[in-house]
Structure 1
């Protein structure tokens, strides 16, 4: 599995002769063409896989991805970029205040999670300074899991959700994401320094890095993700993440955007109860993010 990517060099974790993990430095083989390699990819290697200093293996195949966190540079860019592969959970870190929640960014992260097959988790920081209630109410109809974090509270509730899973952390500047990762993985700073050996002694802040959690599972820190362009996502990509809504949407006309402005959208008739109306209202918040054209957040 690829655990770090830095300027054309990848750190790939393999099983060593004694059964323990060995980190191997590798590069992408020419025969892969334009297929990029990202953190979380499961790959096949040839060459020196001992992990010894000054050795180099080649990645010759990428296994099929079960999930993918994707984005585009902006909403008009047709080229999608896969950020992380095969993760289970997208942890969207946002402060309830100082700074105020960037609602558009959160909406887009949720869309990216649903479209890519990841389970989203809203991680609300600085709850000792403000209430999370308004933010939770915005997404109440989605059944979205959320945990509240403060400086004084232990992280047991979050750790339980991360156990034995591959989780990706995203969040904008100032929300406390780096502090949170360092609390979860006390040696994360030291581990980043070790990873940087593949990049001539400097770890680039634009690359994702995977860390092992002390009690099982892994965390991928993504300091380079500041926005999510959604040019690759359609309304149906989001709808498909909700089985009952997707079934109702089969009665929609071709090209339906499933918004309130689509007069023949079958979801209006489906939402006959207060619970379903709440679901549809929350879903249409996300569909609004898909339809926007802007800077990606």
Structure 2
């Protein structure tokens, strides 16, 4: 008779009867677990990348262990996995731990919804993709993405597409003064994508934007093997159709040296990750606190310490130290710079209670 092999995880993770409690509260150490990156989520199954060192990188399919049933695992998470992590066809590992997250990008359905939705974890840069035309840019949506990124402690890159149809100057002047980096691409200039690649190198970047702004087209140019579906903009509504249905993390290839790009899609190395997300039409900010947004403006944050208790820092806030800071400027040039800075902050502050257009 074959000897039964004891599963050290079973006593906690898989009770013998449905609805019963684990027979012990002492969780196994999972000393044999390997660490992996979550690159995709699909109906309770998680696509992971396990880095075994050197060339031993493999894709693994996994599910959550029972103890993580109520814990959400998202793209970008670093997780510990046990079971069969060979990546062979038909195998299934088990996620037993989520490592500490360095950042969490969140949004809510609207500004009154208390339920936070985690978009991605562990990204260090939010790339807001916005078309300069077809569809028209919506500064309200850009503002709200910037607020969410600042709240998560992430850097922001504004990627303006379709510059062959309209000038980017107005949006540049609106966002560069508040520390938002801006990069511009043209459909008639494939080389312009390489400037975007340079801004993504060595980082984990998540791309967010309205449907139809060219996000999937940009992803395909950066990662030729991605083959993300692209759509068109409705001539009547001016809105795009959702083509990406779920978030996915993709390795960012580095273009071969001296070419500025690869016509064949062959790549010499990899450098960083890009996370493509489904097109969004709203970005609720019910989870964002004023103090978190203010902290992104270091100069204003320092001045605001002199504000009266409970100050909202809004334009109609009485005795706000930020207004005194502007009024007390030593000369007109400094006053103009401070005014622009404060106006930008209050615009973002107002976006927390405004529409998501």
* Structure with more relative contact order (C-alpha pairs < 8 Å, separation 6 or more): 1
Say which of 59, 71, 74 aligns to 2:95: 59
Give the C-alpha shift of residue 252 in structure 1.
Answer: 2.2
Match of 2:203? 165
Scaled by the length of structure 2, the TM-score of the pair is 0.75
What are the superposed Cα offsets for residues 204-251 of structure 1, whole Å, 9 maximum, x if unpaired? 943100111111111100015332111101221111122222122222
Query: Secondary structure in 2 aligned to 1:156?
Result: helix
Query: In the aligned structure 1, how far is the partner of 2:211 from the partner of 2:299?
Result: 36
Tell me how far apart the structure 1 counterparts of residues 157 and 228 of structure 2 sit (CA, whole Å). Answer: 27
Gaps of 5+ in 2: 1-36, 230-242, 255-270, 330-334
Structure 2 residue aligned with 1:122: 158
**Is contact 1:89–1:165 with CA below 8 Å preserved after alignment?**
yes
Deviation at 1:16, TM superposition (A): 3.4
Match of 1:258 in 2: 313
Instruction: Please say which of residues 139-148 and 9-18 is displaced more in the overlay.
Output: 9-18
What's 2:143 paired with?
107
Q: Distance in 1 between matches of 2:160 and 2:210?
A: 12
Pairwise CA RMSD: 1.8
| Residue of structure 1 aligned with 2:282, choices 222, 227, 243 | 227
1: CA distance, partners of 2:300 / 2:207: 28
Q: Tell me how many residue pairs correspond in the alignment.
A: 283
Which one has the largest radius of gyration? Answer: 2
The residue number in structure 2 matching 1:207 is 246
Residue 91 of structure 1 corresponds to 127
CA contact 1:44–1:61 (8 Å) conserved in 2: yes
Instruction: Name the SS for the 1:139 alignment partner.
Output: helix
Structure 1 unaligned regions, length at least 5: 192-203
Asked if 1:11 is matched to 2:47, the reply is yes
After superposition, the C-alpha distances for 1:66-108 in whole angstroms (9 at most, x for unaligned) are 1111001111110101110111111111111221111111111
Alignment match, 2:300: 245
1:207–1:224 CA contact under 8 A, matched in 2: no
